[in-house]
Structure 1
Amino acid sequence: MLPFRRFWNQLQQILVAEPTTPADSSDTPAPKADATVWDVLKVRYILRNKISRPLPEELVDIILDSAEYWASAEVEMSQGERIVHKDRDQVILKTVPLCYDRASLASSSVPTPLPHRGKYPCRKIIFHISSHDQGGSGNRPRENMYEGSWTWFDTEVIRAAHLKNMYKDDKEQEVLENEGGQVARHFGPENPKLLPRGDKLQSNKAHVSKLQEHHIVWHYLDNVSPDSPEAEEVERMQGRGSLTLDGRGVRELEVGDSIAVWARARFPWWLNRVARARVQIYWAI
């Protein structure tokens, strides 16, 4: 077993003695829950150069991944509550393209990616969604609260989103067809988006008007087989898609890709009411 405790003890001593941000300021910065790009670069430099026995690059990678010391970016849904009606699916948010800064994408036709490690640097994605459907059954508890739920959330990967002019004049642009739900669409029986499937992100509990807090974590080390009893239990008890539990959605995300979160509703009188949504993406440096 690698002596991580010894490495981190040395690292903490060095970090206490040295600033962790590049800015010159007499004010002490407030502590942050997540590391910045600069934080990770600083720690990499320390582990490679400033501890008593500097470490090889490969071991530094292992330590940072084991500690989940990754850079991150966060996006929140704007415009307040969204109400998604039958067949008027909406994109409630799109993440900033992986390993890119929104400001640089808006100001440069040839944006430069942020530091990252490898073609597939994504390590974790956390989705926070507060939502519910239209209610209507007295909110009585049932064995499977997600059975017969026709309001749910899907994800769509926008490949090479950093080349699609997503930002202009400090405003996010639509890059997917009908992503605002302006036009009601007809979903026939052969359309894969007619009903929630195994690749769904999350369903709302059916006929429950109380706001639900969905916290979904995708990790690059996830390895739950979609056809396993465990995946079936997660889908039944948590409302997640069984196909999203094997980590591929994280491992296959490339630099420049963005994730769109769709809110969907089907059949007359069904509503998907979304109060808040937030996504955090973590990548290795």
Structure 2
Amino acid sequence: MAANVPSIVWSALRALSLTEVPRDSPVRRHSEGDKSYQPSIVDVAVVKAMLYRAKKLPADLIDTILDMAEYWIHTSTHLDERISVMGGSEARENKFLLRSYPLGLLNSGARQNANDQPYTTTLPTPRPLGETLDASFFAKSVKYPLPRLAHPARKIVFKFRSQDQGYVSSPEEGDHPYSGSWTWFDVGLERFDADAAVDGSALSVNSLRPVQPPIRQTSSDPVGYNYTHELLHSPEWEIQRNQTALRQWQDHVVTWSYLDDIPADSERSKALEAQGRGRGTGDGKFVRQLQVGDVITVWGKARFPGWSNRIESVQIDVYWAV
């Protein structure tokens, strides 16, 4: 549906008797041809203005129209690097891979200089989250409208190219494509800490604090913290498993929507498991609860000796309503 958004919106505008659309309007410009078109924040603003001008529609109704058309802003972050996550060693079996831009922002909003590590792939020292930055902070640092909704996220699309080690010790382990897999990807969540930022200043990646996975205080250092990772799959956080003992690169695309409504304990959730997805990820809760400024992360996982999560690329696309 999203691929045909410009045509849908253009048809709606004509149905509303809006006949005077500028020739270079983004709606006209993209109403035909490129099906991969993604609207910019300017495009969305223009369409909203057109809908209001045509019939003086209330803002809530305009928002509903754009939601039905999936005419949303989005950002994309990528990891294109061959990485292996190895099972059998606690130090190597959980690997941070990639983070999204903060929800509602078109880029990281983070300060970058020659000494900074890359925003999307740097894992800062874990520290506990205090007070979270709210939308008013981010509004001061950008020159475009931020989402008006408290929970504006609409869709997250995860893309993976990966494979496991390509073999198993027992033939029975390879009988089912996903159920016996011990290599997979988990979702994580970070938020900016208010105490680590000065009002109106640029953010640093070191201002991010983990929400998921959780952290715990180390026994040897009273001010030190480590990430806590479950040994087994976590149905609530598991995005996608690799197929078992498949030597070819696998491409998986997983979409989480705010409209998802599959309870974890339902029969329908079994279909998610059969596809290698976490049974608890189909209820849409994660997407619906995201706030402006939230950062989504992806972790690579492998468990037990001999298992290897071999990764070629990861991508996170985040869509939100303005």
Q: 1:144 aligns with which of 172, 176, 180?
A: 176
Deviation (angstroms), 1:58: 1.7
Q: 1:241 aligns with which of 275, 278, 292?
A: 278
User: Does 2:37 align with 1:39?
Assistant: no
Deviation (angstroms), 1:16: 5.5
1:242/1:15 CA distance change after superposition, 3 Å: farther
Does the aligned pair in 2 maintain the 1:100–1:162 contact within 8 Å?
A: no
Does the aligned pair in 1 maintain the 2:160–2:315 contact within 8 Å?
A: yes
**1:207 match:** 245
**1:122 match:** 153
**1:133 match:** 164
Q: 2:192 aligns with which of 156, 160, 166?
A: 160
Identity %: 31
Deviation (angstroms), 1:103: 5.9
**2:103 match:** 98
Which has the higher mean CA deviation after the structures are superposed, 84-93 or 191-200?
Answer: 191-200
SS in 2 for 1:48: helix
Amino acid of the residue matched to residue 148 of structure 2? Answer: R
1:212/1:38 CA distance change after superposition, 3 Å: same
Does the aligned pair in 2 maintain the 1:203–1:240 contact within 8 Å?
A: yes
**2:308 match:** 271
Please list every run of 5 or more consecutive structure 2 residues that lacks an aligned counterpart in the other structure.
Answer: 1-7, 28-32, 113-136, 211-227
Amino acid of the residue matched to residue 157 of structure 2? Answer: I
Deviation (angstroms), 1:173: 6.3
Q: 1:226 aligns with which of 264, 274, 279?
A: 264
Aligned residues: 256
Deviations 1:67-120 (CA, angstroms, capped at 9, x unpaired): 010000000014x11111123211111001111232643279963474213110
Deviation (angstroms), 1:159: 2.2
C-alpha separation in 1, matches of 2:163 and 2:20: 48
Which has the higher mean CA deviation after the structures are superposed, 31-40 or 57-66?
Answer: 31-40
Does the aligned pair in 1 maintain the 2:162–2:251 contact within 8 Å?
A: yes
Does the aligned pair in 1 maintain the 2:263–2:269 contact within 8 Å?
A: yes
1:267/1:13 CA distance change after superposition, 3 Å: farther
Which has the higher mean CA deviation after the structures are superposed, 61-70 or 114-123?
Answer: 114-123
Deviation (angstroms), 1:149: 1.1
User: Does 2:82 align with 1:81?
Assistant: yes
Amino acid of the residue matched to residue 50 of structure 2? Answer: I
Please list every run of 5 or more consecutive structure 1 residues that lacks an aligned counterpart in the other structure.
Answer: 22-29, 178-190
- C-alpha RMSD over aligned residues: 3.5
User: Does 2:87 align with 1:57?
Assistant: no
1:48/1:282 CA distance change after superposition, 3 Å: same
1:175-194 mapped onto 2 (5 Å cutoff):
193-194=230-231
Name the TM-score, length of structure 2 as normaliser.
Answer: 0.69
User: Does 2:68 align with 1:71?
Assistant: no
Amino acid of the residue matched to residue 55 of structure 1? Answer: L
1:5/1:45 CA distance change after superposition, 3 Å: closer
Does the aligned pair in 2 maintain the 1:100–1:114 contact within 8 Å?
A: no
Does the aligned pair in 1 maintain the 2:164–2:247 contact within 8 Å?
A: yes
**1:7 match:** 12
